[in-house]
Structure 1
Amino acid sequence: MATNNSGIAFEHFDRSVRPQDDLYRHVNGTWLRDFELPADKAVHGVFHELRDLSEKQVLAIIEADNGKIGNLYKSFMAADAIEALGIAPITGYLAQVDGITNLAEFIEVMAKLEAAGLGGIFGSGVVADAKDSTTNIMHMVQGAISLPDEEYYREAEHAEIRSAFAEHVTAMFKLIGIDANGQRILDLETKIASHHWDAVKDRDATLTYNKFSRAELETLMPGFDWALYLKAGEVPAKAFETVIVMEPSFFTGLAGLLQSESLEDWKLWLKWEVVSGAAPYLTQAIVNQNFKFYGTTLSGTPQLRERWKRGVAVTEGALGEEIGKEYVARHFPPAAKAAMAEIINYLTEAYRISITNLDWMSAETKVKAIEKLDKFTAKVGYPDKWRDYSALEISPDDLMGNILRVAKFERDYELAKIGVPVDRTEWHMPPQTVNAYYSPRSNEVVFPAGFLQWPYFDLNADAAVNYAGIGATIGHELGHGFDDQGSKYDGDGNLNDWWLDSDRVEFEKRTKQLIDQFDALHPSDTPEMTVNGALTVGENIGDLGGLAIAYQAYKLSLQGKEAPIIDGLTGDQRFFIAHAMGWREKMRPETRRVRITVDPHSPEEFRCNQIISNLDLFYEAFEVKEGDGMWLDRESRVSIW
């Protein structure tokens, strides 16, 4: 942590790079040059330093616990006992698959495995209905592939990954005593992937809202026995009376493949689902082979993380809020909530002023936008109501049993929401998480305690640093309510077109400019790749609007006073420098290639430089001139909110 007056980490600066040419490397260049990624990491930076700290804090909580938390961790750390068991924990499930003789039995066994958390040919979950955000409804989503995205099964650039995947599946089967060619799994998944929607289409809130009755679901997937699926999976029939099918054509295509592809191939695929799902909890040889492909081949990480780190992740994933209660008691000062409330108030006021002053939006749509802003809520630190884990049974010496019981516990928790009003007090991240999120269906932003640390937030920091860090993050998350998809939701969290057509045209004209900007960018660590402007546009809108609004909020917080000069920097300069600090990150090229394909976030260097290059305020703060590296022609700069 920086200890100087400004809170700026000058030790990471590269003074040979001018901020006018490359702010990101001016601020972070020395670290980017000298830092070597640890062998067990695919990516590391500011976020990950905080996550490492949280990991150690959580470990201390786990090791002091004598109940469920401590017992789950102990069961994961019992390496000798796990090794002695071999593949015994999954032999029963593999035998069930062996016993399948027809499609009906395949559906029955698949549903049972899905209920156990070990298989399923599509994804499902219970969340708020996007057109009635007070009501929970089952959502069905495409699935059944093992590679990061459908693109991996068709593009020539991923041919080596496909070949390595087939070899990996063959090796995994061999480790559990099955002599089978992994190419069969790749071939079947290639056919499944051909029915997947691509990543850009799949983020469209309108296209992915498709309500189906049970009768319509039967028509959508001819030949699929829904009654058998629900009974075998112990799913109440009411859960599928009405559903949202996010990619209808996928499900029709999947039904066709269940009829056209050989039963033996489907059985082998189901065995693959079992071994792949259970792999992290089985013998070291299986763990190592699983990491060899997913960790090294796909992500470029040379070394598996230490067992205790993996144990912390498993325990936290299962008992996040139970750990969170103690985490908050130990590490979250009450004063932080009050300080955050003040920052959030200034951010919302800045948004209100910005919306009021927009020159491209009609008065009518402005009123609706401000109505949505007024209904926005923020959750800070930790939930008001904690989850009850009393029904979850955990044993100190039964890792796979624990994992399966956790899966059932979570499934029961989800299914219990059907027919019950949406619980607006629920959090979808535990307090120790170093992240934040915006939920369009509840019009709320959530900031867990773990995120509220330097360099994003510090009770004692200069206002410029806090507003450039947590302020820009609040602005970003708020901005999701007004991005290309979030703007389709009203203040109550319902998909509802509250825009005049002429305003939507103006908005889309500006978002197209942003898409075009990012389409032209090549990451420095993988220059052969190109950023997907359409995939990343929502996050880019959030970044651009969030930073602009955070700056305005920072100015409001000064209450008309001039910011002092600290460490030779004006308040505006500290603001932009502090924002650049927050994007410091290094990533392995293999991981970058995956992210470029599937991640709606742009690479960090562009979330810093490209976004800032659109803000006139930056040009004024650093006297940027035409010909400088950060210069964007005035007509090319995008301003939305």
Structure 2
Amino acid sequence: MRSRQLFLTTALLSASALALSACGETDVETGSADNARPQTQAEAAPQGPELGDFGVETADMQAEVDPGDDFYQYVNGAWLDSFEIPAERSSYNSFTRLFERSEERIRTIIEESAEADAAAGSLEQKIGDYYAAFMDTEAINSAGLAPIQDELSAYAAAESHEDIIELMLDPSYAAPSPFGVGVGIDAKQPDKHSVYVGQSGLGLPDRDYYLTDQFADKAEAYEAYLGQMLSFAGVENAEEAAADVFAFEKALAEVHWSRAERRQRDKTYNKHTLAELEELAPGFPWASMMETLGGDGEEYYIVSTPSAIEGSAEIFRDTPVETLKNYLMARAVSSYASVLPQEIDDANFAFYGTELSGTPEQRPRWKRGVSAVNGSMGEAVGKVYVERYFPEDSKRQMDELVANLRVAFAERLANLDWMSEETKAEAKAKLDAFTPKIGYPNEWTDYSSLDVAEGDPVGNMRAARVFRFEDNWSKLGEPIDPEEWGMTPQTVNAYYSSTRNEIVFPAAILQAPFFDPEADLAVNYGGIGAVIGHEIGHGFDDQGRKSDGTGALRDWWTAEDAERFEAKTEVLGAQYATYEPIEGFPINPDLTMGENIGDLGGLSMAYSAYKLATEGQDVPVIDGFTGDQRFFMAWAQVWKGLYRDEALKQQVASDSHSNGKFRVNGVVRNMDPWYTAFEVTEDDELYLAPEDRVSIW
């Protein structure tokens, strides 16, 4: 299972700095040359970067701010003070900018498919018909709820808990379930697939929305929203029914593990035989459920949140069938809202868009159509995207860049003063075993079994749901596919997988401000270099460190080294606990620790790589900024962003990443070179005494 999906991007360094030493790229990739270092080369003068004169948009800076007081504001202040979030957005940042560029390109690809006279069953036909059906709002409004009436009638006809379970297990239906069951790579045996069972079933973003006073108004609004959905479905006494449905979900929330608890990789791996699962959570027909799903006959099942599964089964058993029927109906209408009449779609946006995230306006229909096609046939679109917008040379450069960062990290590992040689050897073996995936997959998803019909948006949504279900369960009993990707090439994001021990960088993320072939070397290292370092570092954060180089969940640390590591993370966590992006909503270091370690380690790694690449050179001052200054400015520029208040509250409560301001200020204040570069002293607000600064990797 993909262990880490990150809200960040990657890109390439300029070719002038990517040459490796005589041992060659392959030797560095295989780890046979421990001391391989990037060759130093003369730096080419920038020829016209996309942002500013050297890759940082200096017009966005607020020079009157002391960088030692607020480095994030110093680099981005003019933009932060003047930019207005578009009405269709709850936030806006560097990722949004690239997403919109990708979105426009994908729109062209999709509309060309929609306009083509494509053969039945071809990818062009499926892409075009899916998009055209979604865009035909006149037909959608005319159809009313007729396209989902069969599903609503099935829910209404349920007479027992067994009937409810049967409906929940139908992959063509939008029925929610208190249990998330699916197939993933076995964390302790990463050469096989296993069935995972975890908590599920909530309609709000997190359990805290049901349980804390901070979100009491959102919980009240959600209960009213459930009433709207039930009213649309024709349920009598919709408000009273909604109160019962909300009480059911709140009961589930009370037994759910928190997001911070679910990060604990060793605690969320719990093997249970079928008999043990039935003993853990009696009253739920686990045997028949697994048989229906195709997971019967397994030696064991991996339960990620045992107490939540136990409690949810009891809650499900004790909840009246009538309440469960209404639960399915309300959530199903909500799930189909985008392809149902406008009043339902508008109500859905009013709650999830405006109430929860503060977004004033719905996104244009075409943008939502692009997202719908992307979510259903992402790699079909991605194949064309790559052919048009991702030059092969970029992939080659990215491979070289990853090699540079690995060299830098290997040297940092070797020089750690707090880790024993025994643990260092294991860490080096894990680093050597890393697999990078750049740009796009070598093998593309086969969509031949996905049936898409003209003029049937609900049917197409169901078909896509069934396709994903069958694709997932078909993996059980099959060998691990090393070519499989967890993101499409047009996704503006990146991730690290612990079970595969791989880092993945889709094509769409390899653009400015993360990478620009015309930008200054320091900027590319402070941008994409640090992002790559972040991804590599996830293999060594507080959870990634629990898996070895094969991807297996295994403790490869000496007890003393583990104790020293945890002491360092406690200090870092104490720093982040003092940060409050919005009043009353402080950062939770238990939730964000992995990302905070990734940011600090990634930027430190990238700085070391930058120094290796420029060793012996006379790095020029550009527009009054030194190379080191430009390096750190690039990092601050990457995380420039604005949030509406409601969206920021949701981000702090449910996102494992810290807010952008503290991904900048919280990191640089722990790095000695930043103090030197900007002449930061004890008189500055971000100053930390040397003994209080944290350096892990």
TM-score range with shorter-chain normalisation?
over 0.9
165, 171, 193: which one aligns with 2:253: 193
CA–CA separation in structure 2 for the residues paired with 1:587 and 1:476: 23
Aligned residue runs from structure 1 range 56-455, under 5 A: 56-65=104-113, 66=116, 67-112=125-170, 114-179=171-236, 180-181=238-239, 182-230=242-290, 234-238=292-296, 241-455=299-513
Q: Tell me by how many angstroms 1:633 deviates.
A: 1.8
Q: Tell me by how many angstroms 1:240 deviates.
A: 5.2
Aligned residues: 636
Which secondary structure does the structure 2 equivalent of 1:148 belong to?
coil
CA–CA separation in structure 2 for the residues paired with 1:33 and 1:488: 42
The one-letter code sitting in structure 2 at the alignment partner of 1:441 is T
| CA deviation vs aligned residue, 1:521-571 (integer Å, no higher than 9, x gap) | 111xx2221111111111000000000000001111224323222222111
CA–CA separation in structure 2 for the residues paired with 1:98 and 1:260: 19
Partner of 1:475: 533
Question: Identity percentage over the alignment?
Answer: 43
The one-letter code sitting in structure 1 at the alignment partner of 2:326 is L
Q: Tell me by how many angstroms 1:466 deviates.
A: 1.0
| Match status 1:626 vs 2:663 | no
The answer to whether the 8 Å contact 1:238/1:418 transfers is: no
Using the TM superposition, name which of 362-371 and 334-343 deviates more.
334-343
616, 619, 623: which one aligns with 1:560: 616
Partner of 1:576: 632
The answer to whether the 8 Å contact 1:117/1:408 transfers is: no
Unaligned runs of 5+ in 1: none
Q: Tell me by how many angstroms 1:229 deviates.
A: 2.8
The one-letter code sitting in structure 2 at the alignment partner of 1:221 is A
The answer to whether the 8 Å contact 2:287/2:296 transfers is: no
CA–CA separation in structure 1 for the residues paired with 2:328 and 2:183: 24
CA–CA separation in structure 2 for the residues paired with 1:125 and 1:427: 17
484, 492, 500: which one aligns with 2:550: 492
* Alpha carbons of structure 1 residues 187 and 212: separation in structure 2 relative to 1, 3 Å: same
Which secondary structure does the structure 2 equivalent of 1:388 belong to?
coil
CA–CA separation in structure 2 for the residues paired with 1:230 and 1:439: 27
101, 116, 131: which one aligns with 1:53: 101
Unaligned runs of 5+ in 2: 1-48, 117-124
TM-score by length of 2: 0.89
CA–CA separation in structure 2 for the residues paired with 1:4 and 1:538: 32
Partner of 2:62: 14
CA–CA separation in structure 2 for the residues paired with 1:337 and 1:563: 27
CA–CA separation in structure 1 for the residues paired with 2:270 and 2:407: 36
Which secondary structure does the structure 1 equivalent of 2:437 belong to?
strand
| CA deviation vs aligned residue, 1:165-197 (integer Å, no higher than 9, x gap) | 111111122223223222211111111111100
Q: Tell me by how many angstroms 1:157 deviates.
A: 1.6
| Match status 1:612 vs 2:668 | yes
Partner of 2:122: none
The one-letter code sitting in structure 1 at the alignment partner of 2:212 is E
TM-score by length of 1: 0.97
CA–CA separation in structure 1 for the residues paired with 2:109 and 2:92: 24
| CA deviation vs aligned residue, 1:131-174 (integer Å, no higher than 9, x gap) | 01110111111111111111111111211111111111111222
CA RMSD of the aligned region, Å? 1.3
CA–CA separation in structure 2 for the residues paired with 1:102 and 1:77: 38
90, 104, 107: which one aligns with 1:42: 90
CA–CA separation in structure 2 for the residues paired with 1:529 and 1:273: 29
The one-letter code sitting in structure 2 at the alignment partner of 1:199 is R
Partner of 2:8: none
Which secondary structure does the structure 1 equivalent of 2:561 belong to?
helix
Q: Tell me by how many angstroms 1:379 deviates.
A: 0.7
CA–CA separation in structure 2 for the residues paired with 1:502 and 1:549: 24
| CA deviation vs aligned residue, 1:449-473 (integer Å, no higher than 9, x gap) | 0000011011222111111111101
Q: Tell me by how many angstroms 1:4 deviates.
A: 4.4
Which secondary structure does the structure 2 equivalent of 1:289 belong to?
helix
| CA deviation vs aligned residue, 1:472-507 (integer Å, no higher than 9, x gap) | 010001110000000000000000100000000000
CA–CA separation in structure 2 for the residues paired with 1:539 and 1:46: 18
